[in-house]
């Protein structure tokens, strides 16, 4: 599997302090994508679900993890590896948001079993209207884990899109739902 970034605490892509995981590889190549550098698989990012899980466990030793947000690229482009990782992550938190450019109806039902919230659909730059947690208004949010429905409804009613910057050895990574022409 190919994972370019693991960041903590991500506080702008879902409720609480989350671990953000960015997969590489995306066939959609959406115009205006906020992460075009993640479209291609890059050998330097080759890893395994177990290595990513061990990294997350090291974060969990000293920090509260309220959930995970998995994005990319497109995590569903590596569906088998994603599924393996989700099973491991659920042992730390079962609150998992996954972004994908594929439609929900294009995904196998077993892929959805370990996901709390799915945000689907390709990014369409012309439809970027600052919708909460969505790059463009055509994208749909599915609360798949009904036990989390009230938590997410409260989040949707009280939050707005924000940007969070992480300073790394490679520079600054700007996380969140960006406005058009970012």
pLDDT higher than 80, residue 155: yes
CA angle 13, 17, 22 (to 5 degrees): 50
Q: How confident is the model at residue 178, as a pLDDT?
A: 81
For the chain, state the CA radius of gyration: 15
| SS3 assignment, position 37 | helix
Q: How confident is the model at residue 182, as a pLDDT?
A: 63
CA distances from 52 to 10, 75, 147 (A): 16, 14, 27
Q: Give pLDDT tens digits for 117-137.
A: 999 999 999 999 989 999 999
Q: Give pLDDT tens digits for 21-67.
A: 999 999 999 998 889 999 999 999 999 999 999 999 999 999 999 99
Q: How confident is the model at residue 132, as a pLDDT?
A: 92
The sign of the dihedral angle between the CA atoms of 39, 145, 82, 50 is: positive
pTM reported for the whole predicted model: 0.95
Q: Give pLDDT tens digits for 79-117.
A: 999 999 999 999 999 999 999 999 999 999 999 999 999
HSE-CB for 63 with a 13 A CA cutoff: 16
Q: What percent of the chain has pLDDT over 90?
A: 88
Band the pLDDT of 10: cuts 50, 70, 90.
very high
């Amino acid at each position: 599997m190919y994972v370019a970034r693991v960041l903590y605490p991500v506080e702008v892509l879902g409720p609480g302090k989350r671990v953000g995981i960015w997969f590489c590889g995306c066939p959609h190549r959406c115009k205006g994508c906020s992460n075009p550098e993640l479209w291609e698989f890059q050998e330097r990012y080759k890893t395994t679900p177990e290595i990513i899980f061990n990294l997350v466990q090291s974060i969990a030793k000293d920090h509260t993890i309220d959930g995970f947000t998995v994005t990319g690229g497109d995590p569903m482009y590596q569906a088998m590896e994603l599924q393996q990782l989700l099973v491991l992550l659920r042992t730390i938190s079962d609150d998992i948001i996954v972004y994908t450019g594929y439609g929900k109806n294009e995904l196998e039902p077993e892929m959805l079993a370990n996901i709390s919230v799915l945000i689907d659909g390709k990014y369409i730059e012309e439809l970027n209207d600052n919708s909460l947690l969505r790059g463009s208004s055509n994208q749909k949010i599915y609360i798949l884990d009904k036990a989390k429905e009230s938590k997410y409804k409260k989040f949707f009613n009280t939050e707005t899109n924000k940007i969070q910057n992480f300073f790394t050895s490679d520079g600054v990574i700007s996380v969140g739902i960006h406005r058009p022409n970012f």
